[in-house]
Amino acid sequence: MMDLGRMDDLPAEYRAALAEQNLVPLWPSLRSVLPPGKPVPRTRATAWRYAGLRPLLMQAGELTPIEKAERRVLVLANPGHGLDKMQASSAIYLGMQLLMPGELAPSHRHTPNAVRMIVEGEGAYTTVDGEKCPMERGDLILTPTGLWHEHGHEGTEPVVWLDVLDLPLVYYMEASYVTEGAPQTVKRQGGERTYLHGGVVPSPVFTRGNRRYPMLRYPWRDVRAALVILAETEPAIEAVQMAYINPETGADCQNILGYSALMLRPGETLRLPVRSPAAVFHLIEGSAALTVDDSDFTLSPADTCCAPGFAQVVLRNASASEPAFLFIADESPLHKKLGVYEVRG
């Protein structure tokens, strides 16, 4: 490979003259921004254990009232990016959020897209664009870019959920901001029931309102049932996986990150294709082992793991008798829109 030279090879006076005019020579850094063969990711294979995280999250509930925190969250930060960057991958932000009984996280809207994967507890809800969405374990709730949303808790036990946002990308583009708002008036509830049956969507005679996100809550009981039925009816299928989509367009449910649910059959080992996007794996039920290149992780319910792009990921169900269920978030929609999506092997 050609030796492109180093910055130190240039005379100090020349470097100073470049800096004075805000100029930088490309050739000494060319291979750092265009490495040969494949990218060199900063994202590291990292796991966050819920058993270790949960006590610290509950302590945060004691130390900081919701009025001071607005959103009481512990960020799942990837050490490869630096903990101060508060990101799991180049485009994915993860956080565990706590809401205590009687609390209300006030209404706001922001430019990053967000989803909530409910981890534990009952009695909480998220109101999105006037639709009240109950929060039950395993449910996925969308809070897309620009839509008002707030969280409330009418139950008796703590409720925790995993936040997944495309914040790192939106922040990098200098497009990230929030607008505070007044409490919402609930206009609808149970909108997800409209799309309960696959293959049919509402088709009224008169023009409907233009809702870019017609389905905001994806109940886990329905997703889990669909996975089980797929496994039963397609026993030879390579992977028992369901994507979270916009039911009226068939496209990804959000624009930048993609979401899916995966069932590992009892005793199953699944070797995933090597792909360009980074991915996050969150265990909803069961027990699983995860290998990311040379790093091995054992996941218990509510544990979360991040894998960089171009990594070889192998999933194993640790149980020979019970299925395991995972929620997956990845950067596929972004890569496909940018034309950099790759599958190798």
**Buried residues in 185-220 as b, exposed as e (16+ CB within 10 A):** eeeeeebbeebeeeeeeeeeeeeeeeeebbbbbbbb
Just give the CATH number of 49-185+216-344: 2.60.120.10
| Residue 262: strand pairing partners | 241, 326
Largest CA distance in the chain: 75
pLDDT in tens, the chain (345 residues): 566 678 889 999 999 999 999 999 999 999 889 999 999 999 999 999 999 999 999 999 999 988 888 899 999 999 999 999 999 999 999 999 999 999 999 999 999 999 999 999 999 999 999 999 999 999 999 999 999 999 999 999 999 999 999 999 999 999 999 999 999 999 999 999 999 888 888 887 665 567 889 999 999 999 999 999 999 999 999 999 999 999 999 999 999 999 999 999 999 999 999 999 999 999 999 999 999 999 999 999 999 999 999 999 999 999 999 999 999 999 999 999 999 999 997
Note every long-range contact of 26-33, with CB atoms under 8 Å and residues 24 or more positions apart, other chains counting.
28/4, 30/4, 31/4
Residue 265 pLDDT: 98
Q: Could you give the C-alpha distances from 263 to 58, 92, 237, 258, in angstroms and in order?
A: 30, 23, 12, 17
Residue 336 pLDDT: 98
Q: How far apart are CA 82 and CA 66, in angstroms?
A: 27
**Buried residues in 267-277 as b, exposed as e (16+ CB within 10 A):** ebebebebbbb
Residue 208 pLDDT: 58
Residue 2 pLDDT: 61
Residue 100 pLDDT: 96
